[in-house]
Structure 1
Amino acid sequence: MGSRVEQFAAIRRDERVEGLSIRELAERHHVHRRTVRQALASALPPERKTPVRVSRRLEVFKPVIDTMLRADLDAPRKQRHTARRVLARLVDEHQAVEVSYSTVRDYIAHRRPEIAIEAGRASADGFVPQTHPAGAEGEVDFADLWVVLAGVKTKTQLFTLRLSHSGKAIHRAFPTQAQEAFLEGHVYAFEQLGGVPTVHVRYDNLKSAESRVLLGRNREESDRWVAFRSHYGFDAFYCQPGVNGAHEKGGVEGEGGRFRRNHCVPMPVVDSISQLNELLAAADAKDDYRRIANRATTVGHDYLIEKPLLRPLPATEFPTWLTLEPRVDRYARITVRQCHYSVPAKLIGRRVRVRLGATTLTVFDARHEVARHERITVRGEQSLNLDHYLEVLQRKPGALPGATALAQARKDGTFTPAHEAFWAAARHALGDSKGTRALVEVLLLHRHLPAADVIAGITAALRLESVSPDVVAVEARKFGNAAAPPSPGSTGPQVIDLAQRRTIAGAVVPVDERPLPSVAPYDDLLGQVNR
């Protein structure tokens, strides 16, 4: 457009300054005389007209294609005509051998939505800008997040709750999308935001909240979810199922991808889910300084305005965990969600109470906590604690070398090289059975003494060339006492002899006038023995 404007300006200038004719202007500027007339008539070149291309070969078949597309309105979604199928029918039924695939494809692409609108099955596609009052609405969704967890590439679930007005978002990673994670994510987000949206929170089809998806926006909610919403005092707004409802919570739909691209590339390398969540919390704080689109203020600034308008948090805690009562099998394990966890062997055959959270599993015997494990997400996996099997291993020491709990203890570092060295020395000195029992007694010390003290006791015992558990216990307590800080006001242990005691102010110690002890009677006895 710019070059034609300049060309028109040059033609008009030459005509104005030199008075050249139309023919002379056309020859000088190498254009048609029609272009010269257009330039003299207006300084702005006329708009170029896009020619309307008509496929003469397809024209006679358009009514046939329209009939096929109208029939698709009542057909199952996965059994509707594709462009390739339409072309095949045209060739087979109407001998349209000269019609190309691209021509049929392009016609169907623009004609199919027109037919749907004509039949009242769809409306013109478009969106209406929305304004979200401060403190009123939020959006929730899960997104996949890949991390390197303990050296293994692992997929976690990124929970996101976003305030619709300010765009302030809270993120939390969980192993699964289970209801426990769903509820814990809400609790964490509400605590970080300092309140709850006053009107509603938008959701899609999350099984954590819904028992069944009904027609349109209707849902059959689970009882725990209803109780949770009632506890925090907010309503749920369910979007249309499928891609048709994605735009109804478009803020959080785009938030997951934006957050991953900006804070999780390259993949985070972490040792645990808790460490990952520390990184996510730092990223959330950093996002307070960003601006959304063309806003003049930051997310953090808008959130400070929105925060006082949120509903206050309830005074009591909602139990987000799931309570179960499995029975302990003969391997001292319980099975929860098709995964196995160990408990103390004394509980074999009994039922225990389990509190299943999003990331942890806690086992109770009556009111006493007896075991705690990180939650497993892989079906059939086991989390076994070697300490739970020590009483059994005292009676069956031969089971220790191949024990799964021992392999896991070696992997996580709780069974250290010091334990390995003591076991090897004990077996060498006492034999396999007695040496293993000695190791079990040392492992039992961990129940009463800090791990560092026990390891120091093992090291000291090996230095003394002893494999006695009693020596390990004595050395561990000596190490613990030496490392313990002195009590307030004391200067450490002191030894005062008798001479010093006499010099202590105010002390009256009588002089010892007794004769020195003699060993003469013992010498007489020795003489009698020698005779």
Structure 2
Amino acid sequence: MPGKPVTDQQVRVYMTDRLHYSQRVAAARAGFSERTARRIEADPRLPSQRKPARGRTVPDPLAAVWDAVLLPILKRDPAVQAVTLMRHLQLTDPEAFPDDRVRRTLERRVRDWRALHGPECDVIFRQTPEPGRMALSDFTDAGTLGVTIGGQLLAHRLYHFVLAYSSWEHVAVVLGGESFTALAENLQNALWTLGGVPHEHRTDSLSAAYRNLDAAAADDVTKRYEAFCAHYGMLASRNNPGEAHENGSVEAHNNHLKVALNQALILRGSRDFATLADWRRFVDELVARRNRRRDAALRIEMAALRPLPARRTTDFTEVVARVTKTGGFLVHSVFYSAPSQLIGQRLRVHVYDDRIEAFLGATHVVTHPRRRGRDDGVRVHCVNYRHVIHALRRKPQALAGSVYRDGLFPRPEYAEAWAAFSAALPRRDACRRMVGLLCLAHDEGCEAELALLIADSLGRGELPEARRLKERLEPPQRALPVDTPVALTELTSFDALLEGCA
């Protein structure tokens, strides 16, 4: 048909039919004219073999500069971009290249040159996971979830543990950075929750754990991590720096996890939680639902896991600190209070991701939630008012100028009471009333109940006073019954028990 080229398939059909039919019939069966049949018989090559090479319809705009100017630059460094070469031509020969008219031509020319003569590209080898063979750990930033605790934005990460075969996962909320402490503590929690140990544990390069460490400290962390894996009988491996796809089994799950958490928060209708424990419980419940879909694969993998060791190993960093006369000690530039009896003593402090625990010898003496230092150099304090309340009884005026005064208030209601006292009373009376409230909370063990009474007093425009609030805290007196009959068991009834034993 006019305007419709003959295909190779039509020619093959024609040549087969020509063995049994006339030229006209074979051409009709193949779908072209008799004249075309005569042309095919004169040249039996297929149409694809007779296509003339397509030549240029316009002159090559890069003919004068490609071999002489651009090709040497590409050979020297194939990473150079086409737009960089375009700007180079415009600088060296502005009359020949006044604008970006040939930019697309240059981009195609550079693309084709790289495909034929450029450096070899890396190849990703997809792996077939084996049951019980590998587990992977990673940290992922959870700031995009917008979770708040009591209205305050929570800056945190998620530790993510994944088995490569069954995709069983364990997730933990991490308040600090990607440290060895956070990895060791949460990895142990994952293994003991799982109930078995894989043959190999893969992480990224853990550069975040070594970022602020000198060479000796980084080497110490490396040895501790290797000792940790040796305790569990796991082979410790890392992917190469910058090659995230080598940790792909957990990298992909990171995104799936955050999408699932975001959707669950949308269904919840709020991203605010009363306490950090509530947010952690929310994460644990979602992960448990996701793991239920993997029960069949997990049963296969559990059969290939190694048993757990007899005990856990060290999952903290130990620091030795001396308790000073200010009633506390420093750990990573953060001040923590301690009972005054410990002043002058050296404590062994176990630093976890979310808490610190101090020991005098083998005796546990104090626990605090862990705090992080500030970048502006201002000292951060973590103070328990119970550690210093006895001293404040004797010196209540020290409260006003104390550097950690704001840290002494156990709840926001106490801080609001101090603000009200400072605004309405002289400094001496304000300190006396505030110390009285703290002493009442300590002596009666009624910190939470007293906070409600303080809020009620402030709400009614009154200044809370310890003596009056104590009267409202005292439970009503109850008279004990005096005429309660008591039945005594006869001793002879025990003989029957002795006979039964005989």
Q: TM-score w.r.t. structure 2 length?
A: 0.68
Confirm whether residue 57 of structure 1 aligns to residue 38 of structure 2: no
- Over 3 Å counting, the alpha-carbon distance change for 1:300 and 1:56 in structure 2 is farther
Structure 1 residue 259 displacement after superposition: 0.8
The residue aligned with 2:147 is 148
Confirm whether residue 322 of structure 1 aligns to residue 317 of structure 2: yes
Confirm whether residue 495 of structure 1 aligns to residue 482 of structure 2: yes
Structure 1 residue 337 displacement after superposition: 1.9
Structure 1 residue 310 displacement after superposition: 1.0
- Over 3 Å counting, the alpha-carbon distance change for 1:108 and 1:97 in structure 2 is same
Confirm whether residue 69 of structure 1 aligns to residue 68 of structure 2: no
Helix, strand or coil: the match of 2:296? helix
The residue aligned with 1:115 is 117
2:205 partner letter:
N
The residue aligned with 2:244 is 246
The residue aligned with 2:185 is 184
Confirm whether residue 229 of structure 1 aligns to residue 224 of structure 2: no
- Over 3 Å counting, the alpha-carbon distance change for 1:341 and 1:403 in structure 2 is same
Q: Give the one of 114, 125, 130 matched to 2:127.
A: 130
Structure 1 residue 451 displacement after superposition: 4.1
Structure 1 residue 433 displacement after superposition: 6.8
2:334 partner letter:
C
- Over 3 Å counting, the alpha-carbon distance change for 1:264 and 1:376 in structure 2 is farther
The residue aligned with 2:475 is 479
The residue correspondences of 1:299-448 to structure 2 (distance < 5 A) are 299-379=294-374, 380-401=379-400, 403=402, 405-408=404-407, 410=409, 412-413=411-412, 415=414, 438-439=436-437, 441-446=439-444
- Over 3 Å counting, the alpha-carbon distance change for 1:225 and 1:271 in structure 2 is farther
Helix, strand or coil: the match of 1:275? helix
Paired with 1:269 and 1:191, the residues of 2 have a C-alpha distance of 30
- Over 3 Å counting, the alpha-carbon distance change for 1:185 and 1:103 in structure 2 is farther
- Over 3 Å counting, the alpha-carbon distance change for 1:376 and 1:467 in structure 2 is closer
The residue aligned with 1:486 is none
Structure 1 residue 116 displacement after superposition: 3.5
- The percentage of counterpart residues that share the same residue type is 22
Helix, strand or coil: the match of 2:156? strand
Paired with 1:177 and 1:53, the residues of 2 have a C-alpha distance of 59
Q: 1:90-148: CA deviations, max 9, x gaps?
A: 2344564166333333433453464333xxxx34x543332111111122211110243
- Over 3 Å counting, the alpha-carbon distance change for 1:468 and 1:413 in structure 2 is closer
Structure with greater Cα Rg:
1
Q: TM-score w.r.t. structure 1 length?
A: 0.65
- Over 3 Å counting, the alpha-carbon distance change for 1:101 and 1:401 in structure 2 is same
Paired with 1:177 and 1:324, the residues of 2 have a C-alpha distance of 19
Helix, strand or coil: the match of 1:326? strand
- How many residues align structurally? 417
Structure 1 residue 467 displacement after superposition: 7.1
The residue aligned with 1:280 is 283
Which range moved further: 407-416 or 165-174? Answer: 407-416
Q: State the superposition RMSD in angstroms.
A: 4.6
Helix, strand or coil: the match of 2:136? strand
- Higher RCO structure, 1 or 2 (CA under 8 Å, sep 6+): 2
CA contact (8 A) 2:357 2:364 kept: yes
**Any stretches of 5+ residues in structure 1 without a counterpart?**
5-32, 74-79, 214-218, 290-297, 460-465, 483-491, 507-531
Paired with 1:237 and 1:280, the residues of 2 have a C-alpha distance of 28
Paired with 1:342 and 1:163, the residues of 2 have a C-alpha distance of 41
Paired with 1:329 and 1:320, the residues of 2 have a C-alpha distance of 27
Structure 1 residue 58 displacement after superposition: 2.3
Paired with 2:318 and 2:220, the residues of 1 have a C-alpha distance of 23
Paired with 1:455 and 1:250, the residues of 2 have a C-alpha distance of 50
Q: 1:342-396: CA deviations, max 9, x gaps?
A: 2234434443221111111122344444432221234243222222221221232
Confirm whether residue 258 of structure 1 aligns to residue 256 of structure 2: yes
1:241 partner letter:
P
CA contact (8 A) 1:211 1:222 kept: no
- Over 3 Å counting, the alpha-carbon distance change for 1:177 and 1:437 in structure 2 is closer
Paired with 1:110 and 1:332, the residues of 2 have a C-alpha distance of 72
Paired with 2:56 and 2:125, the residues of 1 have a C-alpha distance of 34
Structure 1 residue 274 displacement after superposition: 3.2
CA contact (8 A) 1:353 1:363 kept: yes
**Any stretches of 5+ residues in structure 2 without a counterpart?**
5-31, 41-46, 214-218, 456-463, 489-502
Paired with 2:109 and 2:198, the residues of 1 have a C-alpha distance of 47
Paired with 1:410 and 1:358, the residues of 2 have a C-alpha distance of 24
Paired with 1:333 and 1:406, the residues of 2 have a C-alpha distance of 14
The residue aligned with 1:86 is 85
CA contact (8 A) 1:135 1:165 kept: yes
- Over 3 Å counting, the alpha-carbon distance change for 1:440 and 1:161 in structure 2 is closer
Structure 1 residue 456 displacement after superposition: 10
- Over 3 Å counting, the alpha-carbon distance change for 1:455 and 1:494 in structure 2 is farther
Q: 1:304-334: CA deviations, max 9, x gaps?
A: 2212211111111112011111223443232
Paired with 1:187 and 1:339, the residues of 2 have a C-alpha distance of 27
- Over 3 Å counting, the alpha-carbon distance change for 1:86 and 1:247 in structure 2 is same
1:58 partner letter:
L
CA contact (8 A) 1:161 1:189 kept: yes
Helix, strand or coil: the match of 2:346? coil
1:224 partner letter:
R
CA contact (8 A) 1:138 1:161 kept: yes
Which range moved further: 229-238 or 147-156? Answer: 147-156
Helix, strand or coil: the match of 2:70? helix
Structure 1 residue 282 displacement after superposition: 1.2
